[in-house]
Chain A
């Protein structure tokens, strides 16, 4: 049976697809099945929709992926378990799709039990598992070339007095052989990755001040740019400019020569800090949650969600975009719908709230799983 034919058809699709494509694919599959008369093609229940990353509760090791169709308020839960009859066993740390493969980052509470599950896109059937010592505390994954992923990892962590005893690294994964082929040493607490042509920008959380730039052809660090404490790249906006967050500042940079164009302080609160920084529809604005723990009110986390334009020269954060605190933000590239995670507690299911991007009005809500904190749109 011509397996490669099916594989080609279930290849990943750019987030924004034409409506004709699924029809064409369905036709092709139908024709193929009729011609072959052997077995039905594997159903792909998770073709179009939103994959929700549910962090789970740390020591319960019960992070999951849910699937939410765009036109439904019912989620399919624990889709890895559904497909493989076993759970992921760890916190859900990241997900992306690369050339027909889904890459799931799993962070277990016990040292040495973190892993990366590589699954078949659309079905979530496991293809391979990468484990320690190749993968230790995986944080973020990004595609850098065909069948090639970078996964930032903290490495083994220490106790609270010295949480990052080791530099972080990037695990270079060849998805064809499904192996970690190289580790690139980067800054302590390696975090968010942003692909920028033939390079990848590497953020950190270990108290270092440099943004690392890695050349994806040589898999080597080619530049370090001192920007401030714990710099984290956000991405490239509609004008092709690079945004980096560091120590309460949004930094706009020239993506080519890496010079700083503008530095803007976020708000003027001494207590609040921004998190879940995400590009809005069409990368014209940036959304973020601005929150703090109120010591005067039993350390309750309080905050709102704000938005600013990529052309703004200041970020006052005075009028909320949505007057709510969220545990995750995402924007559907197809129609700009805002997806926001709500976590009532880490011992019960959370919700995804959908908002209209122009009115910022609530559209509906979907019950998902524990601590929805990230989204992947397909």
Chain B
């Protein structure tokens, strides 16, 4: 029997685009972070400072806090800033990484305005025994990384079966660049560490119920200008994320504790400005399933979640601030023959003010279904919202407790085709057009001494095209992927006399055109991959008078197996920025030139 597992909100987002990052790519990028991978594989754009420093996302022309990052179904965006540093999301350790495009307010909740990133741990009951792997990577600039993971699944007993995984990683960025500047642009002196532990336990009992216990602990730090004892700045973030769930009989119960700590210090690191936020959450869900005859299947999931916030931040005054938030939702899905439709509704509640209700509707329809080809059409419309961050509400003087939640309305249509002209070939093509209008967009208004206000209205619209081709013949596999994104994201509302220079202009740091290409050749365990991403210029001002030049970044990766007794050794070589292009980050510092990495992964049989 197939158990319907709870943590899959995307099942209810019919009519929207979902991309699952394939496991080969995750494996290949296991010494890098998810922003490195997603930049080459998706139209997501990152504002990246390099060398272990922060990397924030722009998803379909939106802000970094408009992407919900869900870890096992729970939003893990840092609650003070409402965003996630993608440089701190390792590509290893998650069993499934999916990108959900477009508004997900009804199924995901707050922050899913531009889209969502879904990270999931999954049990592997089928592969019984213990498998371990150890990895070590040595890269240019004296950067190195260690990682270890143990995956296990017990023997099924009458009482049940245990499975789990432990992953440890330690990434040290010394960033000893052999040059002080590139083409007159400074390399920013910095160093960083990223240490993390992920622990998952799953126990499935004989009634087909499943207990899960997931933990993810992180300790990251970035120091800018470390050699300058007066000017150096260190930002240290620590995350504690603990979840316990029980799923059975179409009931899901879940409890979690999330703690985010942020310490910022200049010069003297022993007395940082301190921020700590705890979130205690509990969620209850019930799923109903039925049929209206024939092949039809309907599913309805109703649920409620309560989250208690406790925050103590020096910048808010240092006192304890608590607040409660709650969500109720009903998600419905209907499937019959060629049609899948969904209708969802969510209402959030936040102490003091309430987000708008967020309904959504979506439809998937198979237009053509043949032996070797399939053509699907999809359409959806849905509202989204973003509850203001704690900084936006509580920051001394500048925060605004009366801020309204941002809200968006997203509509999109898409076509996807899958063609297998011969047994060896597989070609996919996908195209999407979207329009997302976001109102009450918050803005730290310089005209009000940077106090935050609901001033702006933004319209993001665009096109996404992607095609993949794979050729498989015996031990050979050749393939590629080409994608293009057109993103026009601009402000609609003139909120002061000078806004006429801003209305209609592309938002800062959102390139209009992004293209990525990937090609690989694989023979057995040998693999060579070439990746390129292109971005058009990124404006750095609202009126588009200044910009950072466009980007062409190419990486080359190769991996080969080595047998060492009973152990399997995989050796991975990498050339980043193959053509030594000069790329500037948003502080106008140069990103590293051509650089190298050599990684070794030892796996038990």
Give the residues from 157 to 190 in chain A that come closer than 8 angstroms, CB to CB, to chain B: 157-160, 162, 165-166
In the assembly, what is the distance between CA of A162 and CA of B224, in Å? 19
Which residues of the other chain, B, contact A254 by a CB distance below 8 angstroms? none
Fill in one digit per residue for A107-145: 1 if any B CB lies within 8 Å of its CB, else 0. 011111100000000000000000000000000000000
Which residues of the other chain, A, contact B398 by a CB distance below 8 angstroms? 299
Does B440 reach chain A (CB closer than 8 Å)? no
Is B542 a contact of A347 with CB atoms below 8 Å?
Answer: yes
Does A370 reach chain B (CB closer than 8 Å)? yes
- Closest Cβ–Cβ distance, residue A303 to chain B (whole Å): 13
Is A300 a contact of B448 with CB atoms below 8 Å?
Answer: yes
Fill in one digit per residue for B218-235: 1 if any A CB lies within 8 Å of its CB, else 0. 000000110110111100
Tell me whether A61 and B587 are in contact in the complex, defined as CB-CB below 8 angstroms, given that A113-B188, A347-B541, A370-B541 are known contacts.
yes
Is B225 a contact of A111 with CB atoms below 8 Å?
Answer: yes
- Of A59, A111, A162, A166, chain B has the most CB atoms within 10 Å of the CB of A111
In the assembly, what is the distance between CA of A322 and CA of B186, in Å? 42
In the assembly, what is the distance between CA of A86 and CA of B586, in Å? 15
Give the residue of B231, B447, B453, B588 whose beta carbon is less than 8 angstroms from that of A60.
Answer: B588
Give the residue of B448, B543, B589 whose beta carbon is less than 8 angstroms from that of A110.
Answer: B589
Is B230 a contact of A166 with CB atoms below 8 Å?
Answer: yes
Give the residue of A59, A64, A112 whose beta carbon is less than 8 angstroms from that of B231.
Answer: A112
In the assembly, what is the distance between CA of A110 and CA of B185, in Å? 13
Which residues of the other chain, A, contact B448 by a CB distance below 8 angstroms? 297-300
Is B498 a contact of A369 with CB atoms below 8 Å?
Answer: no
- Closest Cβ–Cβ distance, residue B229 to chain A (whole Å): 8
Does A77 reach chain B (CB closer than 8 Å)? yes
Which residues of the other chain, A, contact B266 by a CB distance below 8 angstroms? 158-160
- Closest Cβ–Cβ distance, residue A100 to chain B (whole Å): 22
Which residues of the other chain, B, contact A166 by a CB distance below 8 angstroms? 230
Give the residues from 333 to 363 in chain A that come closer than 8 angstroms, CB to CB, to chain B: 343-349
Give the residue of B184, B185, B230, B587 whose beta carbon is less than 8 angstroms from that of A109.
Answer: B587
Fill in one digit per residue for A53-65: 1 if any B CB lies within 8 Å of its CB, else 0. 0000001111010
The majority secondary structure among interface residues of chain A is: loop
Is B501 a contact of A349 with CB atoms below 8 Å?
Answer: yes
In the assembly, what is the distance between CA of A108 and CA of B189, in Å? 13
Which residues of the other chain, B, contact A59 by a CB distance below 8 angstroms? 586-587
- Closest Cβ–Cβ distance, residue B301 to chain A (whole Å): 43
- Closest Cβ–Cβ distance, residue B313 to chain A (whole Å): 16
- Of A64, A86, A166, chain B has the most CB atoms within 10 Å of the CB of A86
In the assembly, what is the distance between CA of A345 and CA of B449, in Å? 10
Give the residue of A156, A346, A348, A370 whose beta carbon is less than 8 angstroms from that of B230.
Answer: A156
Which residues of the other chain, A, contact B496 by a CB distance below 8 angstroms? 344
Which residues of the other chain, B, contact A112 by a CB distance below 8 angstroms? 189, 225, 227-228, 231
Does A96 reach chain B (CB closer than 8 Å)? no
Which residues of the other chain, A, contact B397 by a CB distance below 8 angstroms? 295, 299
Is B453 a contact of A156 with CB atoms below 8 Å?
Answer: no
In the assembly, what is the distance between CA of A64 and CA of B230, in Å? 27
Tell me whether A60 and B587 are in contact in the complex, defined as CB-CB below 8 angstroms, given that A347-B541, A349-B501, A369-B545 are known contacts.
yes
In the assembly, what is the distance between CA of A89 and CA of B184, in Å? 9
Which residues of the other chain, B, contact A300 by a CB distance below 8 angstroms? 447-449
- Of B228, B233, B502, chain A has the most CB atoms within 10 Å of the CB of B228
In the assembly, what is the distance between CA of A287 and CA of B378, in Å? 65
Which residues of the other chain, A, contact B197 by a CB distance below 8 angstroms? none
Does B337 reach chain A (CB closer than 8 Å)? no
Is B188 a contact of A110 with CB atoms below 8 Å?
Answer: yes
Is A345 a contact of B588 with CB atoms below 8 Å?
Answer: no
Is A298 a contact of B451 with CB atoms below 8 Å?
Answer: yes
- Closest Cβ–Cβ distance, residue B527 to chain A (whole Å): 39
Does B540 reach chain A (CB closer than 8 Å)? yes
- Closest Cβ–Cβ distance, residue B226 to chain A (whole Å): 10
Which residues of the other chain, A, contact B453 by a CB distance below 8 angstroms? 298
- Closest Cβ–Cβ distance, residue A312 to chain B (whole Å): 32
Does B265 reach chain A (CB closer than 8 Å)? yes
Does B566 reach chain A (CB closer than 8 Å)? no
Does B268 reach chain A (CB closer than 8 Å)? yes
Is B546 a contact of A108 with CB atoms below 8 Å?
Answer: no
- Closest Cβ–Cβ distance, residue B263 to chain A (whole Å): 13
Which residues of the other chain, B, contact A87 by a CB distance below 8 angstroms? 588
Give the residues from 71 to 103 in chain A that come closer than 8 angstroms, CB to CB, to chain B: 77-78, 84, 86-87, 89
Give the residue of A78, A111, A348 whose beta carbon is less than 8 angstroms from that of B232.
Answer: A111
- Of A64, A77, A348, chain B has the most CB atoms within 10 Å of the CB of A348
Interface residue tally on A, bucketed by range: 35 or more
Fill in one digit per residue for B491-533: 1 if any A CB lies within 8 Å of its CB, else 0. 0000011100110000010000000000000000000000000
Which residues of the other chain, A, contact B227 by a CB distance below 8 angstroms? 112
Tell me whether A89 and B451 are in contact in the complex, defined as CB-CB below 8 angstroms, given that A60-B540, A60-B587, A110-B225 are known contacts.
no
Is A349 a contact of B545 with CB atoms below 8 Å?
Answer: yes
Is A348 a contact of B587 with CB atoms below 8 Å?
Answer: no
- Closest Cβ–Cβ distance, residue A88 to chain B (whole Å): 9
Does B183 reach chain A (CB closer than 8 Å)? yes
Fill in one digit per residue for B138-172: 1 if any A CB lies within 8 Å of its CB, else 0. 00000000000000000000000000000000000
In the assembly, what is the distance between CA of A367 and CA of B498, in Å? 11
Is B446 a contact of A345 with CB atoms below 8 Å?
Answer: yes
Tell me whether A370 and B588 are in contact in the complex, defined as CB-CB below 8 angstroms, given that A62-B540, A111-B225, A300-B447 are known contacts.
no
Give the residue of A84, A158, A349 whose beta carbon is less than 8 angstroms from that of B543.
Answer: A349
Does A301 reach chain B (CB closer than 8 Å)? yes
Does B267 reach chain A (CB closer than 8 Å)? yes
Fill in one digit per residue for B233-270: 1 if any A CB lies within 8 Å of its CB, else 0. 10000000000000000000000000000000111100
Fill in one digit per residue for B373-400: 1 if any A CB lies within 8 Å of its CB, else 0. 0000000000000000000000001100
Give the residues from 576 to 596 in chain B that come closer than 8 angstroms, CB to CB, to chain A: 586-589
* Residue in A closest to B231 when the chains form the complex, CB atoms: A111
Is B225 a contact of A299 with CB atoms below 8 Å?
Answer: no
Which residues of the other chain, A, contact B501 by a CB distance below 8 angstroms? 344, 348-349, 367
Which residues of the other chain, A, contact B502 by a CB distance below 8 angstroms? 348
- Closest Cβ–Cβ distance, residue A289 to chain B (whole Å): 16
Is B189 a contact of A347 with CB atoms below 8 Å?
Answer: no
- Of A59, A78, A347, chain B has the most CB atoms within 10 Å of the CB of A347
In the assembly, what is the distance between CA of A157 and CA of B267, in Å? 9
Which residues of the other chain, B, contact A160 by a CB distance below 8 angstroms? 266
In the assembly, what is the distance between CA of A61 and CA of B584, in Å? 12
In the assembly, what is the distance between CA of A112 and CA of B188, in Å? 9
- Closest Cβ–Cβ distance, residue B400 to chain A (whole Å): 8
Which residues of the other chain, A, contact B233 by a CB distance below 8 angstroms? 111
Which residues of the other chain, B, contact A156 by a CB distance below 8 angstroms? 228, 230-231
- Closest Cβ–Cβ distance, residue B66 to chain A (whole Å): 18
Fill in one digit per residue for B356-367: 1 if any A CB lies within 8 Å of its CB, else 0. 000000000000
Is B230 a contact of A158 with CB atoms below 8 Å?
Answer: yes
- Closest Cβ–Cβ distance, residue A85 to chain B (whole Å): 9
Tell me whether A89 and B185 are in contact in the complex, defined as CB-CB below 8 angstroms, given that A60-B540, A109-B587, A348-B502 are known contacts.
yes
Which residues of the other chain, A, contact B546 by a CB distance below 8 angstroms? 62, 64, 78, 369-370
Is A293 a contact of B545 with CB atoms below 8 Å?
Answer: no
Which residues of the other chain, B, contact A344 by a CB distance below 8 angstroms? 447, 496-498, 501
* Residue in B closest to A369 when the chains form the complex, CB atoms: B545
* Residue in B closest to A346 when the chains form the complex, CB atoms: B446
Can you report 9 residue pairs joining A to B where beta carbons are below 8 Å apart? Answer: A89-B589, A108-B186, A112-B225, A113-B188, A156-B228, A157-B231, A345-B447, A345-B542, A348-B541
Closest 10 CB pairs of A and B: A111-B231, A299-B449, A344-B498, A159-B266, A156-B230, A298-B448, A348-B543, A111-B225, A111-B228, A345-B446
A109-B587, A297-B448 given; 4 more Cβ-contact pairs under 8 Å: A111-B224, A156-B228, A345-B498, A348-B502
